[in-house]
Structure 1
Amino acid sequence: MKFFHRQLTLALIAVFGLIAGLRAQQAGVFDRETGEPISDVAVFTEDRSVTALTDFDGYFDLGLFPQGVRIEIRHLSYQTRILSPEGIRRMGGRILLASKPEQLQEIVISISKWEQQKRDIPQKIESISAAEIAKGNPQTSADLLQQSGKVFVQKSQYGGGSPMIRGFATNRVLLSVDGVRMNNAIFRGGNIQNIISIDPFSVKNVEVLFGPGSVIYGSDAIGGVMNFYTKTPRYARTDTLEVQGNAAYRTATASKEQTVHGDIALASQKWAMLTSLTYNSFGDLRMGLHGPDSYLRPGYVVREDGQDVYWPNEDPRTQVPTGYQQWSFMQKVGYRPNNSWSFDLGLHYSRTSDYPRYDRLIRPADNEAGLRSAEWQYGPQIWGMANLQMAHKGTNTFYDRLKLSAAYQYFQESRTDRSFQDPIRYESREQLDAYSLNLDFENRKMGNFNLFYGAEYVFNGVDSKGEEENINTSEQVPGPSRYPDDSSWLSLAAYVNSTYRLKPNLTLLAGLRYSHFWIDADFEQDFYPFPFEDARLNSGALTGSLGLSWFPHENTQITANTSTGFRAPNIDDVGKIFDSEPGSVVVPNPDLQPEYAYNFEIGLRQNVGDKLVLKGSAYYTYLSNALVRRDYTFNGQDTIVYNGVPSKVQAIQNASSAFVYGVEFGFDATLHEFWAFRGNLTLAEGEEEEADGNITAARHVAPTFGNLELAWDKYPWQAGVFMNYNGEIPFDDLALSERAKPFIYAEDANGNPYSPSWYTLNLRASYTLWDRYQLTLTMENLTNQRYRPYSSGIAAAGFNVIAGFNVRI
């Protein structure tokens, strides 16, 4: 396998080297973070005898400059560089400029599905730029969010990552890729891992919206929205074919990671293409040295001579088994016939190998191994998307810009589990087809009043199969499926959103959306005598938002916003046909209605002399008619035998209310021309009502967490030291559902489970050579802490060295 990685990397570099020789020797100046061209860059010799200025596309005529001179490249917002014509040609005529740390520019975002200035947005939004992604060099998109220090991520296994935002997670937060919702009809309330299907190498930037976003994004956008925008090909500025590309390799010690990536872009004036391919191989993850002994893995189950055998682990710090592999592919094609029309096609495909669900493999049981499961793994997780977008700049009364997006997504997942010494292996397989159509308009023809409106159609079709296999005889028979087979979820919606600049320093934003949805599911009676034959749900939800952004002074911004969000029941809520949990099973409930969230937040942003930016926000969210798991009866019984185990019957019900409140702080400081200091801190509390009326801690409220970073950026070097911190959740503040899983937690002085506090110290650095080659080195968890993030079934990496190499053509 190592030989394959080496040969593939060398082949990619060789191909890109041949491509470079075909490119015209022209000099262009580009932003190092985004790769976007920089116009109006002054280029001149030291004696000013020869001068030039980059055009709109960032290019200038290098032929004006004689050999042997020194050329200064200067722009107000970027660090100055001094190069020779020979050096520029060695770099392929591509000059990269690094932003000055003190350039605290306004960020253009897509909160209304159209670009807006951040100063006009009353809700908290955090952007993760291309530079931050490259600097963090994340293994998965879940790690990409976690490294930002602004989102808490839970992991049940190494191949996973479930973001938690403001006390909500899983199907109460929304994932979006290039404007297409990834949430589907089988997104569950338990922790999910669909986010790892998004390849970090393909991501251009991420925008995280905190709080309800249902006016624009519909169902599930209660806690927040995570918008992943993938890279797009750029068009050529001349009629000559332009070619660019990248090749990268990365390895990590804690998981024996081997990652290879390559991308290539072809561009003409009307056509542009980008192809991206990534392969990841992760081994079993090794935890840290200093921490709770209960996190260690003393042994695991293997199959030997037809029997399950408990095998001692030679290295209890290695979490066996946790490794997996993944392929990710992206193809973008753009066509721009003129300045008014553009057409963009995006194709995405991701496939994992089988990967173990580690938290289920460490569940204790009263047998010779002391473990309940001999096998528990997810089958290949497959995600594919085809997204065709058409955009038009209008000159009519109804819109300035129009965007039509038609998308198809394919999801495949499966689960396989077998108890210790049990010959029967249970498997469920799900396939889902998701179709969506979005029509969005922008109208800026009404002076200070801007109008955004549109409509959405979403259809999900679910196929679900079950199978039981006797591993001794290889006999296979049909088994109960996880969901009702051939079920469907449909949604139709229309929205309107507007901004009104009441004064130069005061902007109002208001929005309204109505969504209607249908569920159609039929229950087979072959395996269980359900007291109902089908589930037919026909309901609607109205949501709105109202907020303001006010600048009482030039450098002070105050925001206030109130909004509602909703989550419509999906197939997982209505029709889950038994999902084993320790001591309980979940059965279908066809009588469900939407849950609603009501949110209020205020924010403050203060710019101090363009050297320090202070940010803070406070919020309160109330969830009513909450869809929660509660005790239930099945044919009059509150306990049934499932997979040979007496289990309490439960179902999803509209049976609770909850509230979450918290504060979030952040700062960005420029200490020197090349030095920056930044940090974030999030504190949250949440409670929910239990069936007996008691108030207990909410499950998905993360502990206090934050980060600090001291960074140095002087081209061609980048370096930084940073600390990540998570606070403790004592037993008394632990959700009841989490107390039922003591095997994933440490034990306090009273013998009760709790989540200890932890911190890590980390270093990272990168060096860029000739604007083409980049070396990166990260040392994580320098003090080798053994820790397990809250609600996670797997311990994080111990001391970990991550090394990477990237070549840009």
Structure 2
Amino acid sequence: MHKNLLGFIVIQLFSFGLFAQEVTVKDEVSGETLEAVTFNSNQPKLSAVTNQMGIANLSDFKDVKKIYIRMLGYETLTLSYSQIERQGFKLFLTPESTSLNEVVLSASKWEESKKSVPNSIVTFKPKDIILANPQTTADLLTNTGKVFVQKSQLGGGSPMIRGFATNRVLINVDGIRMNNAIFRSGNVQNIISIDANSIQNTEVILGPGTVIYGSDAIGGVMNFYTLEPEFTTDRSQYYFGNVMSRWSSANNEKTLHFDLNVSSKKWAFVTSASFSDFEDLRMGNHGPDAYTRPDYVQTIDGVDEIVTNDNREMQVATGYNQINFIQKIAYKPTEFLNLTYAYHYSTTSDINRYDQLLRRRDGNLRFAEWYYGPQEWTMHHLKINYTKGNKWFDKAQFNAGFQQFEESRHNRNFNSLTRNSNIENVDAYSANFDFIKKFGSKNRISYGLEYILNNVNSIGFQRNSETLEQQNAPSRYPDGSKWQSLAAYLQYENKLSDKFTFQSGIRFNQIWLDATFDKTFVDYPFDKTKINTSAFTGSVGFTYLAAKNTALFFNAGTAFRSPNVDDVGKIYESTPGNLVVPNPNLEYEYAYNAEIGIQQKIGKSISFDVTGFYTHVIDALVRRNFTLNGESTIEFQGEVSNIQAIQNAAKANVYGIQAGLNVELLPYLHWRTNANWTKGEEELDNGDTAPLRHAAPFFGDTRLSLKTNKWTTDLLLVYNSKINAEDLAPSEIEKDYLYATDANGNPYVPSWYTLNLKSVYKLNETWSFSGGIENITDQRYRPYSSGITAAGRNFILSVRTAF
């Protein structure tokens, strides 16, 4: 059996070389193969498109006199079949002088040119991912230079976009909403469930996206598009794929990835799998001593002991492992209909909550254990595309998703026999109908309907670590809670001229939440809550090509976030001495946003972009002091704590500037800089203002990129500014154990920088090698609000083979 399978694979691989009519298309400057290049002819009517390896089959084009070869962002070629044949079926496309013609999907859920979109959108493509060589998708976002990422532990990553994070930014995977009813205002780690090695394209909308995406999309929308099955253009079968292995030194990472695409004219399959093992993370050598790990708790024969760390730069108990798997099956019964089923699965080992393991009480470490159980995510996704137009639409798309989330928390105080545990399961159902219709050459509308249902199950228990006896304890959320959303949206676009595009949209959202509270452990003065609320949001904007090399855009709009089960029903210790309890009386928070930007090209080699934004939030959901039964303190799990709850108790303002500069020093040598400045303030109970928790410090990067036919190399400088003690949010000051200490003994965030070198060498069409050194100068730093110190000097080696 194995010999027959091996022989079949060898024959198929050998047969690839027999297709003399297969053309390979590459970028003229970098030499990288180009996916999604189209070949069209009018006489006869023919079309083909390059696959993931930049290859298209032109057997049907033989003797054709004019073949148009196009890809947005590149100059169009017009060649005959015989000309392509004389060039050895190898073509090179020249990049256009501006990126405005880049295709994006996120703004309307349909392909459109970036120059028509009045939003800031960051794109990250496969070649960027290969060069960045990230360990996780959280690290991938960091490499965009425009998204700040917080980490509480190695197995995590919580993106911050324009002063907002967690449940105020939205995550989508292949068009399915990942945010669920227990996404919290504290840092969320779900982004790591998406396999960075299986991502085909990433688009991040900087700023609100509520009109298209609904609740939570106040600060931004992160869209991840994973590998898609590809069909052949003739009746032959086709196979291609990749195998990649990576090692990095800072945590002795070992990653293995495999993907395979098997396709025919009507059927196509994609399989992708990744396994990663990360050991304890070593921090840098040069930086604050406050970030080192002097000791840790070790349990020997059932007895907790505080052990001196022989290597204070080693962050003991940070390692974990992860498995990701994707299977997609696509069927194309006609040229107008495409059906795709996808199965996504991700799981981790236990992950220690490293920041909690640093907490002290009475001079000693507080916790002997604090860890997340396996973070497990499953998604079933059915997508139907229909492209045969009628009077109601030109194209239609249906997405149905069923996701299952499981997460758990476990902690035990030092020298205590009682381990507290909470386990949560969320079943998330969603259905989206999206349509697009053009009226003439200038008008276009996109519209759709969406339904979401989340069911939340939550249990709590305590277990004696010596006798293993177990008893019930308070659940983190009301068990059996339900959150629902029903929405309709409409977006209109009018190309008033070749230079001016107008866009506006409106969305209506109805939200329901039902929860019943368990009064067994806490005597709540309420039994249940029912939220039935609705919200209208809208947007208006335009893009204006003021000159050949000048583009302007403006947009204004509203956004909202409806309270979820986490806001309404959670009970947990937020910071030392503070217990958050449920609050059944919440309304949605509402945001008003305005944004203006310019993209300018100077001559043939310099371009820059600048965007200014402002967001005002009313009825903001924030954590504030609270009372239960007239009491402001409570005893919970043996601790007396101050009572707090999530409340509509504040206004918030966020404003800032994002800028970028690109300089083409030589055709193969580029210099690029990104800079991000954000300022955020929220209203306190007494009417004063305080810094907003998720407003990141000034951050940016500068890179020098060298691209030749075989080599791509980046020399990258990443930097973050200082945050003084008086500029820290009150909730961050409460966590002083995470921060360095200034001359007055107050917590603050020191500035930091890293110097990094990454390189990819493409030996041939099959083999490529990646390597790099991160944090070359071995800086010891901890990004703002993070609970874990970043990696020290880190060597990375990666090998990739395509077949």
TM-score w.r.t. the length of structure 1 is 0.91
Shift of 1:428: 0.2
Code of the residue aligned with 1:710 in structure 2: it is: L
Equivalent positions of 1:632-647 (< 5 A) are 632-647=626-641
Equivalent positions of 1:227-246 (< 5 A) are 227-246=223-242
Which whole-Å CA distance do the structure 2 matches of 1:318 and 1:329 have between them?
Answer: 31
8 Å CA contact 1:391–1:401 kept in 2: the answer is yes
| Structure 2, gaps ≥5 residues long | 41-45, 62-68, 78-84
Which whole-Å CA distance do the structure 1 matches of 2:378 and 2:135 have between them?
Answer: 20
Cα displacement string for residues 671-728 of structure 1 (whole angstroms, at most 9, x for unaligned residues) = 2121111110000111101112111100000000000110111111111211000001
8 Å CA contact 1:482–1:579 kept in 2: the answer is no
8 Å CA contact 2:100–2:114 kept in 1: the answer is no
8 Å CA contact 2:136–2:192 kept in 1: the answer is yes
Which whole-Å CA distance do the structure 2 matches of 1:703 and 1:234 have between them?
Answer: 42
The aligned residue for residue 291 of structure 2 is 295
Which whole-Å CA distance do the structure 2 matches of 1:619 and 1:647 have between them?
Answer: 39
Which whole-Å CA distance do the structure 1 matches of 2:567 and 2:420 have between them?
Answer: 22
Cα displacement string for residues 449-480 of structure 1 (whole angstroms, at most 9, x for unaligned residues) = 11011110000000001110010111111111
Which whole-Å CA distance do the structure 2 matches of 1:681 and 1:710 have between them?
Answer: 15
Cα 1:707/1:506, change in 2 over 3 Å: same
Cα 1:270/1:330, change in 2 over 3 Å: same
Cα displacement string for residues 137-166 of structure 1 (whole angstroms, at most 9, x for unaligned residues) = 111010000011110000000000000001
2:586 equivalent among 572, 592, 603: 592
Q: Name whichever of 337-346 and 561-570 sits farther off.
A: 337-346
Shift of 1:17: 5.8
Cα 1:722/1:18, change in 2 over 3 Å: farther
8 Å CA contact 1:103–1:610 kept in 2: the answer is no
Cα displacement string for residues 202-224 of structure 1 (whole angstroms, at most 9, x for unaligned residues) = 10111111111100000000001
Q: Name whichever of 623-632 and 447-456 sits farther off.
A: 447-456
Could you say what secondary structure the match of 1:684 adopts?
strand
Equivalent positions of 1:107-146 (< 5 A) are 107-110=102-105, 111-146=107-142
Which whole-Å CA distance do the structure 2 matches of 1:288 and 1:618 have between them?
Answer: 35
Cα 1:398/1:38, change in 2 over 3 Å: closer
The aligned residue for residue 225 of structure 1 is 221
Shift of 1:305: 2.4
Which whole-Å CA distance do the structure 2 matches of 1:95 and 1:771 have between them?
Answer: 12
Which whole-Å CA distance do the structure 2 matches of 1:54 and 1:442 have between them?
Answer: 23
Matched, 1:187 2:180: no
Matched, 1:21 2:20: no
Which whole-Å CA distance do the structure 1 matches of 2:553 and 2:765 have between them?
Answer: 41
* Sequence identity percentage: 45
Cα 1:96/1:698, change in 2 over 3 Å: farther
2:625 equivalent among 624, 628, 631: 631
The aligned residue for residue 351 of structure 2 is 355
Matched, 1:248 2:247: no
The aligned residue for residue 387 of structure 1 is 381
The aligned residue for residue 476 of structure 1 is 470
Cα 1:28/1:469, change in 2 over 3 Å: same
Which whole-Å CA distance do the structure 2 matches of 1:761 and 1:15 have between them?
Answer: 47
- How many residues were matched structurally? 765
Could you say what secondary structure the match of 1:145 adopts?
helix
Which whole-Å CA distance do the structure 2 matches of 1:230 and 1:371 have between them?
Answer: 42
Cα 1:16/1:432, change in 2 over 3 Å: farther
Cα 1:510/1:104, change in 2 over 3 Å: closer
Could you say what secondary structure the match of 2:142 adopts?
helix
Q: Name whichever of 669-678 and 295-304 sits farther off.
A: 669-678
Shift of 1:647: 0.6
Shift of 1:394: 3.1
Cα 1:393/1:522, change in 2 over 3 Å: same
The aligned residue for residue 435 of structure 2 is 441
Which whole-Å CA distance do the structure 1 matches of 2:129 and 2:7 have between them?
Answer: 26
Which whole-Å CA distance do the structure 2 matches of 1:600 and 1:646 have between them?
Answer: 45
8 Å CA contact 2:100–2:113 kept in 1: the answer is no
Equivalent positions of 1:355-754 (< 5 A) are 355-366=351-362, 370-754=364-748
Which whole-Å CA distance do the structure 2 matches of 1:296 and 1:99 have between them?
Answer: 50
The aligned residue for residue 325 of structure 2 is 329
Cα 1:479/1:713, change in 2 over 3 Å: same
Shift of 1:578: 3.0
Code of the residue aligned with 2:625 in structure 1: it is: D
The aligned residue for residue 85 of structure 1 is none
Could you say what secondary structure the match of 1:606 adopts?
strand
Q: Name whichever of 298-307 and 412-421 sits farther off.
A: 298-307
8 Å CA contact 1:29–1:38 kept in 2: the answer is no
Matched, 1:808 2:799: no
8 Å CA contact 1:515–1:542 kept in 2: the answer is yes
8 Å CA contact 1:168–1:223 kept in 2: the answer is yes
The aligned residue for residue 792 of structure 2 is 798
Cα displacement string for residues 225-281 of structure 1 (whole angstroms, at most 9, x for unaligned residues) = 011111112111221110101111000000000000111110001111100000000
Shift of 1:30: 3.8
Could you say what secondary structure the match of 1:243 adopts?
strand
Cα 1:645/1:74, change in 2 over 3 Å: closer
Cα 1:670/1:170, change in 2 over 3 Å: same
Which whole-Å CA distance do the structure 1 matches of 2:521 and 2:89 have between them?
Answer: 65
8 Å CA contact 1:298–1:316 kept in 2: the answer is yes
Code of the residue aligned with 1:366 in structure 2: it is: D
Q: Name whichever of 673-682 and 424-433 sits farther off.
A: 673-682
Which whole-Å CA distance do the structure 2 matches of 1:764 and 1:617 have between them?
Answer: 28
Which whole-Å CA distance do the structure 2 matches of 1:687 and 1:423 have between them?
Answer: 43
Which whole-Å CA distance do the structure 2 matches of 1:429 and 1:478 have between them?
Answer: 12
Q: Name whichever of 751-760 and 605-614 sits farther off.
A: 605-614
Which whole-Å CA distance do the structure 1 matches of 2:547 and 2:34 have between them?
Answer: 34
Matched, 1:106 2:101: yes
8 Å CA contact 2:575–2:735 kept in 1: the answer is no
Could you say what secondary structure the match of 2:554 adopts?
strand
Shift of 1:79: 14
Cα RMSD of the aligned pairs, angstroms, is 2.4
The aligned residue for residue 46 of structure 1 is none
Code of the residue aligned with 1:208 in structure 2: it is: V
Could you say what secondary structure the match of 1:219 adopts?
coil
Which whole-Å CA distance do the structure 1 matches of 2:33 and 2:459 have between them?
Answer: 45
Cα 1:17/1:596, change in 2 over 3 Å: farther
Cα 1:427/1:96, change in 2 over 3 Å: farther
8 Å CA contact 1:101–1:674 kept in 2: the answer is no
Code of the residue aligned with 1:195 in structure 2: it is: I
The aligned residue for residue 259 of structure 1 is 255
